[in-house]
Structure 1
Amino acid sequence: MKIINAKSVPTHIISGFLGAGKTTLLQYLLQQKPEHEVWAVLMNEFGQIGVDQQLLPQQQGFEIKELLGGCMCCSSQLPLHIALARLLSESKPDRLFIEPTGLGHPAQLMEQLTEPHWQSSLNMRALVTVVDGSRLHQTDWVKQNLYEDQIKAAEIVVISHVDVMTFEDDQALLQLQQEYEVYQQHWLKVAHGELELKQIDLAHVAHERKIQPLLIQQRQHSTEETTPEIKELPYHYVEHAQGYIVAGWKFPRRWVFNFEQLLDVLCDQHDWLRIKAIFNTNQGWMYFNCNPHQFNYKSGDENIDNRIEMISQHEHNWLKLETELLAARMET
């Protein structure tokens, strides 16, 4: 569908895990609309029955649309592109808010909306992730992979329900901020969703990230060839954020690794700031959360894949690390 829209619309992604308070925050933001402007909201419900749309303004000056069934971040991009193009061309909004489902991956959504196709139509603002501050003390809740992915994607982290946070929540928040310090995010605290638009109306700053085949596979390409960018497992990526280097690998869930050998590989690493990993091992699924002062690991639930991420201020011999990780894989 052709987009008939002469202006680049300021566009905010308001993400967050289930029940974090995204819609409450959105309600308060929408109250700040200037009288002469039209604001639009595109919401994504994972199920087939929309509820949240009824909680938002229905009067003139607001255009609220829902995209039902599945996740706009992960499924086919076509329904999203059609719904968004129609919303822009028909409503011609002065500002747009997009609220993905709590089960969504906002980084993937931002990647879609910053493609060349949208650059003349959307002025992407800083990606917002809402976190329920009253649940930060619940370790099982905050250690879910999707939860962590949403926080990592954020440029602005909004801590909601601060009026009912406990001492344990406050301590957990300090620890969470330390874990994500390298990403230089803005952290805001709100109660009852009361947040001023100007606090989040910041330009989106993209981090350089390229997902590529495993380094061992990349060696098979000649220097003249362009290394293909992929999305399937297994893959390797390196991204740069505020002077730090983040290198990561994801392997299929069915791959099983020798725990003792894997532990030796991780212990042999030097000059890093943080290592986080989840591996399917011969001793069960193991979760690693390490800094230079503490090397922690424990057993955990089955994950959707094997993954490891290392944060450093210096380049490493990533090929050597990858080779050692793959050598720890067991034949199954």
Structure 2
Amino acid sequence: MKFISPKAVPTHIISGFLGAGKTTLLQHLLAQKPEHEVWAILMNEFGQIGVDQQLITKQDGYTVKELLGGCLCCSSQLPMQIALARLLSETKPDRLFIEPTGLGHPTQLLEQLTEPHWQSSLEMRALVIVIDGSRLHDEDWVQQNLYTDQLKAAQIVVLSHIDRMTEADQQAYLALKQEYKTYVQHWIEAEHGRVELGQLDFIQQPLQRKIQPLLRLQKTQLGDAAEQEIKQLPYHYIETAQGFTVAGWKFSKRWQFKFYDLLDLLCAQQDWVRIKGIFNTDQGWKSFNFNPKQFNYKSAEASIDNRIEIICQVQQDWFEFEKQLLACRLDEVS
């Protein structure tokens, strides 16, 4: 199904973790609609009962449509494609806002909406992630994989609930900005969700991440096979942003690694900015959080996978690192 429009519609994804304040932000943005324009909103509820739509005050000039059940980021694309095409054709909006569920992965949604199918219909604006400033002190909260994945997808971060932030939250915010400076271009501190539309109205930069087989597997492939992107584990990716390179690997959670061999390997790395990972080891699940001043590791809850990311500003031999990383495996369970 392809929607034909005389002009591409400026489209904003407003994402963020559960309870971050996405709907409050959206309410303030909608209040800035020029009288002569028509705006549309596509909201995604994970459950079967819509609530957010009821929180958006009804008024002339914009239409709200909810997509219930599942996550439009990662479930079947067909319901989202149909709902979005219908919303565009019925309302012919001048601007579109999409609010995914807080349980979603916005990168996957952005990948869908930047496919050639939609390029004549949608002009994607910078992906916005809303985070709750009053919860930044909660280490267990901010280190959840879904939370960190959303931050890595962000071009703009809106900090909400700033009036409730403690000194610990403020310190955590400064550390967060430093940690994600390779990803986020704009940080906005929003009092009660008040943000000017102009602060968000930037063109989305092209996605530069390519998920590929492990480097050692690519050595055995011929022709274009190594260029094919994959979705299943194990895989690696390398992306660049703002002069930094981020290299990451993900493996099945059933893979187990030798803890001390893994620790020795990570401590031996050079010329990096940040190393973060979580692994199933012979000493239990362990998380690693290295910066040039501190090498921190500790016991952790079981993760959905083994994963590691290394951020650096100089060229590295990633094939050699992967070879040494795989040598730390304790078993051969796939």
Query: C-alpha separation between the residues in 2 aligned to 1:286 and 1:135?
Result: 23
Question: Normalising by structure 2, what TM-score?
Answer: 0.97
SS of aligned partner of 1:256 = coil
In the TM superposition, 1:87-126 aligns within 5 A as 87-126=87-126
The whole-number CA distance in structure 2 between the counterparts of 1:284 and 1:226 is: 34
Segments of 4+ moved more than 6 angstroms: none
Checking the alignment, whether the CA contact within 8 Å between 2:152 and 2:184 is kept in structure 1 is no
Q: Which residue of 2 aligns with 1:10?
A: 10
Change (3 A) 1:224 1:103: closer
Letter of the aligned partner of 1:138 in structure 2?
Answer: D
Q: Is 313-322 or 211-220 further displaced after alignment? A: 313-322
Residue 273 of structure 1: aligned partner: 273
Local SS of the residue matching 1:304 = coil
Deviation at residue 280 of structure 1 after TM alignment: 0.6
Q: Distance in 1 between matches of 2:165 and 2:265?
A: 39
Long gaps (5+) in structure 1: none
Give the fraction of aligned pairs with identical amino acids, expressed as a percent: 67
CA distance in 1, matches of 2:68, 2:5: 25
- Mapped partners of 1:2, 1:202: distance in 2: 25
Deviations 1:220-275 (A, max 9, x none): 11256552210111001000101111100000111111101111111121111110
Deviations 1:161-183 (A, max 9, x none): 11121111111101111111222
Secondary structure of 2:4's aligned partner = coil
- The equivalences for 1:218-233 within 5 A come to 218-223=218-223, 225=225, 227-233=227-233
- Give me the whole-angstrom Cα distance separating, in 2, the residues matched to 1:123 and 1:35: 21
Could you say if the C-alpha distance between residues 5 and 223 of structure 1 is closer, same or farther in structure 2, counting changes exceeding 3 Å? closer
- Say if 2:236 is the partner of 1:236: yes
CA distance in 2, matches of 1:270, 1:139: 27
CA distance in 2 between partners of 1:259 and 1:187 (Å) = 37
Partners in 1 of 2:224 and 2:22 — Cα distance? 47
Match in the other structure for 2:291: 291
Q: TM-score, normalised by structure 1?
A: 0.97
8 Å CA contact 1:71, 1:104 repeated in 2: yes
Say yes or no: does 1:39 pair with 2:36: no
Q: Identify the residue that residue 50 of structure 1 maps to in structure 2.
A: 50
For the Cα contact (< 8 Å) 1:184–1:242, is it kept in 2?
no
Q: Is the 8 A contact 2:259 2:281 kept in 1?
A: yes
Deviation at 1:143, TM superposition (A): 1.1
The 1-side partners of 2:96 and 2:298 are apart by 43
Partner of 1:208: 208
Q: Describe how 1:248-267 pairs up with structure 2 within 5 A.
A: 248-267=248-267
Deviation at 1:201, TM superposition (A): 0.7
1:190-237: CA deviation from partner (whole Å, max 9, x where unpaired): 121111101111111124111000011101112565522101110010
Cα distance between partner residues in 1 of 2:303 and 2:268: 25
Kept in 1, the 8 Å contact 2:216–2:323? The answer is yes
**Structure 2 stretches of 5 or more lacking a match?**
none
2: CA distance, partners of 1:276 / 1:167: 25
C-alpha distance in 1 between matches for 2:41 and 2:225: 43
Question: What letter matches 2:301 in structure 1?
Answer: D
Distance 1:235 1:25, change over 3 A: same
Contact 1:8–1:121 (CA under 8 A) maintained in structure 2: yes
For residue 22 of structure 1, what is the amino acid of its counterpart? K
Q: Distance in 2 between matches of 1:308 and 1:207?
A: 20
Q: Distance in 2 between matches of 1:85 and 1:200?
A: 24
Residues 226 and 302 of structure 1, relative CA distance in 2, 3 Å threshold = closer
Shift of 1:27: 0.5
TM-aligned CA distance change 1:122 to 1:249, over 3 Å: same
* Cα offsets for 1:52-74 (capped at 9, x unmatched): 00111322211100111111111
Q: Kindly indicate whether residue 127 of structure 2 is the aligned counterpart of residue 131 of structure 1.
A: no
Aligned-partner residue type, residue 178 of structure 1: Q
2:68 maps to 68
Aligned counterparts of 1:30 and 1:132: Cα–Cα separation in 2: 21
For residue 29 of structure 1, report the CA deviation from its aligned partner. 0.4
Q: Which amino acid aligns with 1:131?
A: I
Amino acid in structure 2 at the alignment position of 1:114: T
Aligned positions of 1:301-312 closer than 5 A: 301-312=301-312
Return the alpha-carbon distance in structure 2 between the equivalents of residues 225 and 176 of structure 1: 38
Corresponding residue number in structure 1 for 2:195: 195
Report the AA paired with residue 259 of structure 2: F
